[in-house]
Amino acid sequence: MIKAVISGTGLYTPPASIDNDELVEAFNQYVELFNSEHAEEIARGDLEPLQPSSSAFIEKASGIKRRHVVDREGILDPKRMVPSIPERSNDEPSVQCEMAVAACKEALEQAGKTAGDVDAVIVACSNLQRAYPAVAIEVQQALGIDGFAYDMNVACSSATFGLQAAVNSVENGSARAVLVVSPEICSGHLNFRDRDSHFIFGDACTAILVEREEDTAEGAGFEILGTRLKTQFSNNIRNNFGFLNRADESGIGQPDKLFIQQGRKVFKEVSPLVAETIQKQLASLSLSPDDLRRMWLHQANLNMNQLIARRVLGRDATTDEAPVILDEYANTSSAGSIIAFHKFKADLEHGDIGVICSFGAGYSIGSVVIRRR
Ligand code: CO8
């Protein structure tokens, strides 16, 4: 029987970043502009004045200190508050393709492999910059891979669901090796004028190489002990952007065409669901929480991660047990848990067990238990 292993990971981090103070300054300038432009309606009581944001709130409520973004200037312009990413011609690589290629190259290098060793590319992320041709096929061509490629989207759980698809392809023999790549440009779908969520997201791209165990060096990478996927419908995280929007002009430009969420409800409903999913998965693998050396959790909210880790372990987790990259990257949707894995896996020793777990819109949860070879 063919066994799949994770043999390499890669990360592309956009060079530009925005810290909380810079983001809040731009937001508060927008608030002042809005309130002065609508002073009469506000004075009449027809309109509520907008409230300013605060860096102290952001860090306390989320653990986020800054975020990397594809474009800073457009976001920080209080009259624009949207990244400025000019459309490219069809002959140029797309932004997502460029990010993906950089991350894939690092994953291949880490595994000591070339594009010739790979048969498939899965681009798995929350937002795709076009419908077709698939960004994955563009990445396949840019890397020079002879095989197949496709895009998929399960919001924050895209990378772990993609990992499951890659494992299936390798273990059923349809590919020798698969790259799962998550170019997340979350700033493109974030409403920077919404005080409740303007600080939540950042941009980044991760890549994971999944290969046949027999093609890897003895002791290299991580064996995959099991994957568990769960979805449960919820309206608490929604984005109504879609190709039918143009068929009903009244909706174009409405806030629900961007990311919206009931953050408190998400926190309360998803945290126990994630802890239970991990616990059940461990039990099904005859493992106990004490067997876990590390948890690479989805990076949406620090308090949420601490609560989940506590529920799983029955005690507080150290940052060594549940590492955090939120402070630097904010929520990068499906890339988050993989960034944590990429940055905090080198010190694991032979036999150490860990879980990569994503959770988010859908709701969706993807949990992957792995063991250092
Ligand atoms: N500055 C100052 N004060 C603020 C601000 C602000 N920016 N925002 C809110 N407040 C105030 C509120 O007005 C409220 O005041 P009051 O108590 O007087 O009413 C108070 O702060 C508390 O507000 P909240 O209850 O909203 O604050 P929380 O403590 O719940 O924190 C969070 C808000 C951080 C959003 C938190 O609820 C959270 O992180 N929840 C989990 C969310 C989560 O995990 N979501 C996952 C979504 S990601 C996903 O699935 C991927 C989707 C695809 C990506 C698309 C890319 C864009």
Give per-residue pLDDT as tens, 7-60. Answer: 999 999 999 999 999 999 999 999 999 999 999 999 999 999 999 999 999 999
> What is the rounded average pLDDT of the residues 91-119?
98
> Hey, how many other C-beta atoms are within 10 angstroms of the C-beta on 362?
19
- The structural architecture, per CATH, of the domain 222-372 is 3-Layer(aba) Sandwich (3.40)
pLDDT of residue 200: 97
pLDDT of residue 327: 97
- Structure confidence at residue 250 as a pLDDT band (50, 70, 90): confident
Q: Which atom of ligand 1 is nearest to the CA of 301?
A: 39
Backbone phi, psi, residue 191, to 5°: -85, 95
pTM summary value: 0.96
- Probe ligand 1: pick from 31, 54, 57, max atoms within 8 Å of CB? 57
Label residue 252 by pLDDT band (50, 70, 90).
confident
Count the Cβ atoms, other than its own, within 10 Å of residue 57: 14
Using a 6 Å cutoff on CB, does residue 308 contact ligand 1?
A: no
Strands 120-124 and 177-185: parallel
The answer to whether residue 254 scores a pLDDT higher than 90 is no
Q: Compute the distance from residue 170 Cα to the ligand 1 centre, in Å.
A: 39
Residue range 275-295: mean pLDDT, rounded: 97
Active site residue 156: yes
304 close to ligand 1 (CB < 6 Angstrom): yes
Residue 200 identity: I
Ligand 1 site, residue 317, Cβ cutoff 6 A: no
Which sign does the torsion angle of CA 149, 152, 158, 160 carry?
Answer: negative
User: For the segment 146-197, what is each residue's pLDDT rounded down to a tens digit?
Assistant: 999 999 999 999 999 999 999 999 999 999 999 999 999 999 999 999 999 9
Q: pLDDT tens across 357-367, in order?
A: 999 999 999 99
Q: What's the CA gap between 163 and 155, in Å, rounded?
A: 14
**Structure tokens, 285:** 């693998």
Pocket test for ligand 1, best of 24, 27, 193, 237 (most atoms within 8 A of CB): 237
What average pLDDT is seen over the chain? Answer: 96
In the three-class reduction of DSSP (H, G, I as helix; E, B as strand; rest coil), residue 195 is classed as coil
Closest to 81 measured CA to CA, from 92, 94, 72: 72
Q: What are phi and psi of 121, to 5 degrees?
A: -130, 130
Instruction: Quote the ligand 1 centre to 250 CA distance (angstroms).
Output: 28
CA-to-CA distance for 315 and 88, rounded, in angstroms?
50
Instruction: Quote the pLDDT of residue 249.
Output: 85
Closest alpha carbon to 287 in 169, 367, 168, 170: 367
Q: Whose CA is nearest to atom 12 of ligand 1?
A: 196
Q: Quick check: 348 and 9 in contact, CB under 8 A?
A: no
Residue 310 predicted with pLDDT over 90: yes
Q: How far is the CA of 85 from the centre of ligand 1 (A)?
A: 27
Which neighbouring-strand residues pair with 212?
4
Mean pLDDT of the 227-239 span: 96
Give the CA angle between residues 31, 32, 36 to the nearest 5°: 115
Query: Any idea which of 145-154, 244-253, 259-268 has the lowest mean pLDDT?
Result: 244-253
Q: How confident is the model at residue 139 (pLDDT cuts 50, 70, 90)?
A: very high
| DSSP output for 64-96 | --EEE-S-SHHHH-TTT-S---PPPPTTSPPHH
Residue 196 CB less than 6 A away from ligand 1: yes
Burial class (CB in 10 A: 0-12, 13-18, 19+), 205: buried
